[in-house]
Amino acid sequence: MPTASLWERTLTFFPQFRRSLTEECRPDATVAVVGAGDGKFVLPLAEAGYSIIAIESDASALNGGEVLLPTSGIAYAPGLVERMKGADLDHLVRIRCADFLEVDPIEMAADAVWTSCSWHYSANHKRPLGEFVTRMQRLVHPGGLFGAEFMMPVEERHQHIEHYTTPDKLARYFTAADWTVLLTLQTEAFVERAHVGQLHDHTHRMGLLLAKRHQVDHEEVGTRQR
């Protein structure tokens, strides 16, 4: 790949998502990436042949611009659009610059959805975490895959913000008959090196939840429940 993502070196459970994607979805599936940033995940997914719907609220992550980096200071960073073109993959990606909480999930309907550490951003605290998660669930076609890695609480202030969550709490959104949780994982607290947006080494704890949406005959479920 000609350029590296600003987020290239941050810890990720993306390999676990990729494995489930291969197992659960067709090789030409459409994957929605929520909080796509400059494409750390969009580029490898497109390179693997998936069609991507990328949604990102930060226009500079999409179009490039100046960023403040821990060692090099202010530098120009290419955005998702330039990085996709540089890799000759732009034909595989539909980009939407918008707040995910304001977009109708039907517009982003896909076979799989992936997000990486997006919903804890303070702009999302205006709405309950459940709304973010439910919107992601609604855009997944029956038979498809839900994947999210997220920040878990490590600091005292995180204990009061539900958007810093745990795999157990998140799994409560997946109890309906059409969802099965495939995998949950979590790290211990770990030190991550300084990166864009966090200019000093800092402590994180991360979780993962992968779930499959089933094709459910709702009449049959209703009969069973009666």
Ligand X SMILES: C[S@@+](CC[C@H](N)C(=O)[O-])C[C@H]1O[C@@H](n2cnc3c(N)ncnc32)[C@H](O)[C@@H]1O
Interaction of residue 165 with ligand X, rule CB under 6 A: no
Nearer to ligand X, 35 or 207 (CB): 35
Interaction of residue 114 with ligand X, rule CB under 6 A: no
Query: From the CB of 99, what's the least distance to ligand X, in Å?
Result: 5
3-state secondary structure the chain: CCCCCCCCCCCCCHHHHHHHHHHHCCCCCEEEEECCCCCCCHHHHHHCCCEEEEEECCHHHHHCEEEEECCCEEEEECCHHHHHHHCCCHHHEEEEECCHHHCCHHHHCEEEEEEECCCCCHHHHHCCHHHHHHHHHHCEEEEEEEEEEEECCCCHHHHHCCCCCCHHHHHHHHCCCCEEEEEEEECCCEEECCECCECCCEEECEEEEEEEECCCCHHHHHHHHC
| Of the residues 31, 53, 54, 55, which one makes contact with ligand X according to CB under 6 A | 55
The residues near 75 (Cβ < 8 Å, ≥ 6 apart) are 66, 67, 69
Which window, 21-29, 37-45, 82-90, 218-226, contacts ligand X (CB under 6 A)? 37-45
Q: Which of residues 182-211 bind ligand X (CB under 6 A)?
A: none
Interaction of residue 61 with ligand X, rule CB under 6 A: yes
| Of the residues 99, 155, 168, 201, which one makes contact with ligand X according to CB under 6 A | 99
Tokens of 58: 């930060």
Query: From the CB of 222, what's the least distance to ligand X, in Å?
Result: 34
Residue type, 66: E
Which window, 81-89, 120-128, 164-172, 181-189, contacts ligand X (CB under 6 A)? 120-128
Nearer to ligand X, 121 or 141 (CB): 121
| Of the residues 121, 162, 178, 181, which one makes contact with ligand X according to CB under 6 A | 121
Residue type, 197: G
Which window, 52-60, 65-73, 187-195, 214-222, contacts ligand X (CB under 6 A)? 52-60
Interaction of residue 78 with ligand X, rule CB under 6 A: no
Nearer to ligand X, 65 or 142 (CB): 65
Q: Residues in the site for ligand X, rule: CB under 6 A? A: 5, 7, 35, 37-41, 55-58, 61, 99-101, 116-118, 121, 123-124
